[in-house]
Every structure is written in structure tokens, then in C-alpha cells.
Amino acid sequence: MNIKIHPVTHLSQITTQMEVSGIRRLLVIAGEAPWSEQQARQLSAQLSGDWLWVGEVSDWALHCAPSALRTLLGREFRHGIFDARKGFDAAALAALAGTLKAGSWLVLLAPEWQNWEHQPDADSCRWSETPEAIATPHFIQHLQGCLMNDTDAVVWRQHHPLNLTGLADYPSWQPVHQGPQQEQASILAQLNLLERGVAVVTAPRGRGKSSLAGMLADSSPGACLVSAPSKTSTDVLAQFAGKKFVFLAPDALAKNKPEGHFDWLIVDEAAAIPGPLLQQMISHFPRVLLTTTVQGYEGTGRGFLLKFCASLPSCHYFTLNHPIRWAQGCPLERLIDRMMLFEEPVLGRLPSGTVSFSRIEPHLWPQNAQQLADIYRLLSGAHYRTSPLDWRRLLDAPGMHYIAATRATHCAGAVWLVEEGGLDKSLSGQVWGGFRRPRGNLVAQSLAAHGGNPLAATLSGLRISRIAVHPSCQRQQLGSELIEQARQMATGAFDYLSVSFGYTEELWRFWQRCGFQLVRMGSQLEASSGCYNLMALLPLSRKGHWLVQHEQRRLLRNTRWQLPLPTGAIENKQMLSDDELSDDDWLELAGFAFAHRSLDSSRGALQRLLLGCELPPGVLRGELQEGETRAALGQLFKLSGRKALLAAQRQETETALCQLDSQRCGRLKTWVAHIQQGEFLPECDGVINTNKWFSDGKTG
């Protein structure tokens, strides 16, 4: 029977019951924007609380953008509103749920219910690699299915009565008292007995990991040092540590051993720190405590345990299971877990049997819904940073392909492939010159922007975004078999398979065994992995083979001015050390002097230019040959800022080219100007012959 009293009044009565039971619930208000906001305002006026509004724009007293919500982690709020009427940031919704106290409503403002799946989602621009927002029907159908099948979720649709019958009753809840709870006290006792080694405490959010870490710092006889991805996220830890809270950022800690003696290093949310950086941090300390959310919106993943912790010589594992900030079985936590697939992946031993391979296409949703969910769960267990953003990409982003390896109906392995390249000549040329950076096409754009061929992005590639194998199936060549399945699928339709990854010797050996060949190596450590980035291709067509040969020759010519290549990176090739300027060098130098190509991308050609001309000392020679810092060069030549320094280096390059051949320099400058305007000329007055690029597809 429908409730006859005003809906907001009855919601107030239910809120009182929720406070007694220590639970939180989700309320969806779906309808036209003015109507849904009016209901939210009435509700906030009726129920006392903080009422944090999460949305891009709001005149609400307490509000923040979805992208800024991480800065509020560690704080607690009574009631929150999440504005998803134009875009749905799934990770931000989960993060907001993690900040809400017992007795709170999470109010989700949504578009009209029937139209939701057809409406372009502004958040899709972050992950779909499309220039415009796209509709996300598969995720919305999944979301609506979760909501309609949850008896504790409340859906209030415009032009429909609000039905509040059938909400489950929960037993009374007693808030936890101050001091360590039973699980925390047990772990603290064991930590105090630990003489050396690394302790890892994992738990879902709200279980008291940070407070436990603070209690350890406060109770330890000696000093403790705290680190975390962000100091703002350590408020709870600092509260429990009191005067013994001493913080040092991860990068500062990794560079220099801290002064003084510390009994413990405590790292909060450790899985959000790149593995190599974390390894450097913990090497200074006899005892280390790492706390992390194994599965959650941070995208830390169970891979932290499987990869990083498993590599440590002495590691002790602890888990907190019982929630502290709300009651066990909280309906909001349960619903968020179901929406975002936060449930722990089942990584126990799989049944024996033959492995079969199949292509899974997301456009065949919902018949492939379970297989896609299984793939996502396996990926979240294998990769540190698989997050709800990836779940959304997997379901609705265009150009995605999946191959699953199945054993006895269980997902034993999966590879995630992304279509790239196929740009027209004009756009590829503009990417080469640094004039355009369209969304997506990670490897294809890098081949053009950092490589030596302006037409590189016209080739079509299939990038391996993720690959994962179930722990019980590893060391059985299943990963190699998945790549072979991808190669067979791509042959005839694409010019190459590609992969981009943080270099480790083990990873590089795997990709080499699969037939991939190195085409690019980054010059800076990647923040996400703490490793140098490598890009490798497995050529599938004649054009693909030509591109690999061209880029490998370029790598070899530039070896003396770059980081050492991995062992055996380019096999059966003699080192090329000629210092004569080639046609390819002239083209790269024109891209640096007259376009926006970076100095790092042009470093080899610039070094050969300086060796072959009599350019006087300046900012170019000072940085590349004399090793002067940019700050010192700016002060010496009275140049303010990096832009002014780079402009001077481009001008010096033009001067040197003119000294060598002024007519050729002028023709190249004109050619680059046409590139900037989107006109890709096949030839440059005989200076370069762009028709040779892929013209006949020969590989010799």
C-alpha cells in the first residue's frame, strides 16, 4: 500500500530508524532537472545534516566537484547529494558513499528514468576516447537493474508516486566506543611483537585501517614516520597518532633516508603508490606497516597483494572485516559493491580441464553481461589500478574488444584490446608536428608525435590495454596463447598489435617471446608505474613491418644520446653510429624548428645537427652538449621560463639549418606550414619524398 503522507515527511521517519540501526541507504530522484533539485532542497531542509553536494556546479553551501572528492577522504558527513543528471563519475559516487556516517542518505539525482540510458554522459569524455559525450546504455542498464533488485534502495521517479513500503528492518546498532576494537586490538598486539618485516593490513573502507595505523604510532615506544599518497587523506590517522604524527611525502622519502631513528614506517593507502617507489621507501626501515583498501574506488585492486607483497621476503598479512563507522550489512555499502563490482574476485584454484577461447563483444549486452563482469573481476584482481572508470569503458566505450580464456565456465584469462590509428594523412601530420592531440590513440599518436614518420598514425593498430591470467593458471603459457588469439583476430584487419608498459625485465621478456619489437622508450620515469615506459609492436602487414624497421633504425641511431636499451631489445642489428644528417633528420629538425615537436623527441637529430654545424654556444648547445640546467641557461641568456627557452632553441635550430642549406630549410618551413593548416603535401619540392612512406608496402 502506498504511503499517503508527504514523501519527505515519511523519509524523515525512515531516517530516524536508519540512525538507530546504524545503516545508510541510497535514494534516487529521477526526473527533469528543476523537479529533482526541488525535491533535494526540500529533503535537506527537512533533515538536519552536512548535505555535501557533489557536482560540477552548485550554489550549495558545502559542495565540491567529483574530481575533487578525493581531497575530502578521511572526513565524515551526514547525508550527501550526488548530481548525475549530466554525467556519472562512478568512482566519485563510491567515494562519497565512503564518507557518509551511519544514518545517512546518499541522494542520487538522475535524468528521467526511461531516457537515462539514451542520454549522452559528460563523464564519458574522460574514458571513451571520443571527441563528444556518448550515451552509456550498458552501464545504465546494469545500474538500473541493481537498483530495481535492491529492496533497500529507494527510487523516486517524477510523475510516479514514491513507494516506501517493503524496506527491510534492521536490528538496533551500538556505535563503537573509543579505543581499539576487538579486531584492531588483536592486530596491534601482534604488530608490537613484530621485530622485523612488513605488515600489511587490508580491508574495505570504514573498517578502521587508518585509525589502527594511528593507534600504532601513538602506542609505539619509539618514533614512527607516516607517509601516504596525499597528506590531506591522513586526517583520521593523525587524529589517533596525536603528537607522534610525523609525515613525509613518498617522493621525498624515497630520495633521502630520513634523519633520526624510526621504529616504524607507516604507509596509508599503500597500493596507490607505484610499486618501485614503494620499494625504495620501505628499504630504509626495519619495520613497515602498509594499509590499503584492496578492492575499491581507488582502483588499487588485489594485484597489490598478488604482485608487490608477494615479492617481499618477509610479509605478515592482517585483515579487518567488521565495519566501525556503520553497521554490518549496511545496504548502501552492499549496493555500491554490486554496482561497481567491488566484491572480492574469486581467485581460488580453478577446476581442471581444457581451456577454450572466445571473443566477447560488449555490443551484445546483455547476453554477454556475466562474461564481461567476470573479465572485469579478473582484471581487478591482477592490476593495481583497475577502477570503476575501467568498468564503464569496458561496457560502453567504442572500439573495445575482449578475448576470454574459459575453463569449466570460469574465466581463466582475458585480454582487452583497443582499436587505434586509422587517422587521415592531414590529422596524422598535425599530430607529428605537435599541432593536434585528438582524444585516444595512445600508441598511434605516440608513433607520430615522437617517432620519425608523419604518416605513422594513418596505420591501424589494436592496442593491448590489459591482460590478466588467473593465479592458478599462471606459468602455463596461457598469456602467450591469449596474445596469439589476438594476433589471429587482428591479422588482415590491422597493421599491428601494440602494447605500452612500464619496463621490468620480466615483462619485457614476456612481450619479446610473444613477437613484439621495441619501437620507443621513454626518457622519464612514469609516475603511475615508477618505471620507464616502453612501446612495442607486433607487425601484421607490410606497412606494419616497414614502420617497425624504420623506428628501430631510428632508435639505434640515437642510442648514444638516450637511455640504454633493454638487453636484446633489437636483435641481429648492428649499432648505427653515423653522425651524418639524413633526410629523416632534416624532417625531424624541421618539425622541431617550425612546429611544436618536443626537444626529447628530436634529441638525436639535434645532436647530429650540432656535430655537423658551427653554431656558436647558445641555449641549444648548452643543454644538449654541455649539460647545463634549464634554470642556469635561462639566467645566463636572460630568458624567463621554459617557453622562452624552448623558443630560443627552436630559433637556433632554424639558424643552423639555414647555414647548412638555406633553400632546403625554406622549403621545409613552407611544407610544415601546410601541415599546420591541415594540408598534407605528398612531396616537398624534392627535398623529401613522402610518397615513399608505405607507398608500396615493401619491407626491404
Helix axes 137-148, 388-396, angle to 10 degrees: 120
| Torsion over CA: 617, 620, 623, 624 (sign) | negative
Q: Does residue 304 carry a pLDDT above 80?
A: no
Is residue 615 scored above 90 in pLDDT?
no
Average pLDDT in the 455-474 region?
92
Question: Tell me, what's the pLDDT at 588?
Answer: 95
Domain with CATH 3.40.50.300 in the chain: 182-319
Cα separation, 424 vs 458, whole angstroms: 6
pLDDT category at 89 given cuts 50, 70, 90 is very high
* The pLDDT value given to residue 688: 54
Q: Check whether 301 has a pLDDT greater than 60.
A: no
How does pLDDT run across 373-389, given as a tens digit for each residue?
Answer: 999 988 887 765 678 89
What class does CATH assign to 355-561? alpha beta
Across all residues in the chain, what is the average pLDDT? 88
Q: Residue 697: what pLDDT? A: 43
pLDDT score of 686: 46
- What's the confidence (pLDDT) of residue 21? 96
Q: How confident is the model at residue 696 (pLDDT cuts 50, 70, 90)?
A: very low
Mean pLDDT of 313-318: 88
Range 7-157: architecture per CATH: 3-Layer(aba) Sandwich (3.40)
Torsion (CA) 366, 369, 372, 373 in degrees, nearest 10: 150
Q: Where, residue-wise, is CATH 1.20.120.890 in the chain?
A: 583-692
pLDDT average, residue stretch 226-234: 86
Reading the block at residue 48, the C-alpha cell is: 538536519
pLDDT at 293: 78
pLDDT for res 1: 40
Q: How far is CA 635 from the centre of its chain?
A: 38
Residue 296: per-residue pLDDT: 57
Q: Output the pLDDT for position 473.
A: 86
Distance CA 637, CA 639 (A): 6
| pLDDT more than 90, % of the chain | 60
How are the residues of the chain apportioned to helix, strand and coil, as percentages rounded to the nearest 5?
45, 15, 40
The three cell numbers locating residue 62: 558545502
Most confident by average pLDDT, 153-167, 670-684, 685-699: 153-167
Least confidently predicted of 98-112, 186-200, 331-345: 331-345
Q: What are the tens digits of pLDDT across the range 627-639?
A: 899 999 999 999 9
At 225 the pLDDT is 94
DSSP conformation letters of 411-442:
EEEEEEEEEEE---HHHHHHHHHTS---SS-H
User: Tens of pLDDT along 23-78?
Assistant: 999 999 999 999 999 999 999 999 999 999 999 877 888 999 998 887 776 678 99
Residues 156-187 have pLDDT tens digits of: 999 998 888 778 889 999 887 777 889 999 99
pLDDT score for 277: 83
pLDDT band per the 50, 70, 90 thresholds, residue 306: low
Q: Using one digit for the tens of pLDDT, what is the confidence trace for 440-453?
A: 899 999 999 999 89
Question: Boundaries of CATH 3.40.630.30 in the chain?
Answer: 355-561
Is the confidence at residue 691, as pLDDT, over 60?
A: no
Q: Given pLDDT bands bounded at 50, 70 and 90, which one contains residue 466?
A: very high
Inter-residue contact 362 to 402 (CB < 8 Å)? yes
The proportion of the chain whose per-residue pLDDT surpasses 70, expressed as a percent, equals 91
pLDDT at 639: 92
Give the model's pLDDT for residue 147. Answer: 97
Q: Which of 48-62, 103-117, 362-376 has the highest mean pLDDT?
A: 103-117
- What residue ranges of the chain are covered by domains with CATH 3.40.50.11040? 7-157
pLDDT tens digits, 187-201: 999 999 998 999 999
- Beta strand 105-110 pairing with 25-30: parallel
Query: Is residue 533 over pLDDT 90?
Result: no
Pick the CATH number of 182-319 from 3.40.50.300, 1.10.1300.10, 3.30.450.70, 3.40.190.80: 3.40.50.300
pLDDT of residue 409: 85
The pLDDT assigned to 6 comes to: 65
Q: Mean pLDDT over residues 202-206, rounded? A: 84
Please check the confidence at residue 3 and state whether its pLDDT lies above 50. Answer: no
- Is the pLDDT at 505 greater than 90? The verdict is no
- What pLDDT is recorded for position 651? 96
Q: List, for residues 259-276, the tens digit of each pLDDT value.
A: 888 989 999 888 778 777
Q: Which three cell numbers stand for residue 111?
A: 535524468
Residues comprising the chain, all counted: 700
3-state SS, one letter per residue, for 557-615: HCHHHCCCCCCCCCCCCCCCCCCCCCHHHHHHHHHHHHCCCCCCCCHHHHHHHHHHCCC
Question: Which of the pair, 676 or 382, is modelled with greater confidence?
Answer: 676
Domain spanning 583-692 has what CATH number?
1.20.120.890
